Amino acid sequence: MGTAMFYHLTRRPLEQALPQLLEASLARGWTVAVRGPERGRLEWLDEKLWGGRPESFLPHGLAGGPYDAQQPVLLTDAADLPNGARCLMAIDGAAVTAAEVSALERVCLVFNGYEEEAVSAARAQWKALTGAGTAAQYWSEESGRWEKKAESQGA
């Protein structure tokens, strides 16, 4: 059974924080799906990831191409995981189910701490997932590095 890890962004924007989380997941040998609710936002993120520092290149693709199944990191707005992801990163309030958390190694829910709507959506996701018996952790970067601030053991 996996864990839902909530990442509360308060110091860096998504396009700066996400690569660090992706690198850590790839270092564990996991394939990753980044799920967002809007294709346009994923296209924007795709451009940001391609434009990152050359020494920290992140191999990835935008869903809908002929090589989705081979992508180490796949950006998608769909519920399925065509790259066989072991880790799911949900951004911008993308939907995540307790069944997905159970089936995967890890599910990361990354949200912007400066948008009240995003914070409210993350709180609702925490309540729904922990209410379904899912183990969850809440991480904040408020101090300048990731620190665990809360945990629910699940069922």
Q: What is the pLDDT of residues 125-134, one digit of tens each?
A: 999 999 999 9
> Cα(51)–Cα(54) distance, rounded to whole angstroms?
8
pLDDT digits (tens, 9 = 90+) for 49-71: 887 666 667 889 999 999 999 99
The pLDDT score that the predictor gives to residue 32 is: 98
From the number of C-beta atoms within 10 Å of its C-beta (0-12, 13-18, 19+), residue 60 rates as buried
Please name the amino acid found at residue 106: R
Tokens representing residue 80 in the block: 């399925």
pLDDT digits (tens, 9 = 90+) for 26-39: 999 999 999 999 99
117 pLDDT higher than 90: yes
> Cα(18)–Cα(89) distance, rounded to whole angstroms?
9
pTM, whole model, 2 decimals? 0.93
* Region 3-152: CATH code: 3.40.50.10110
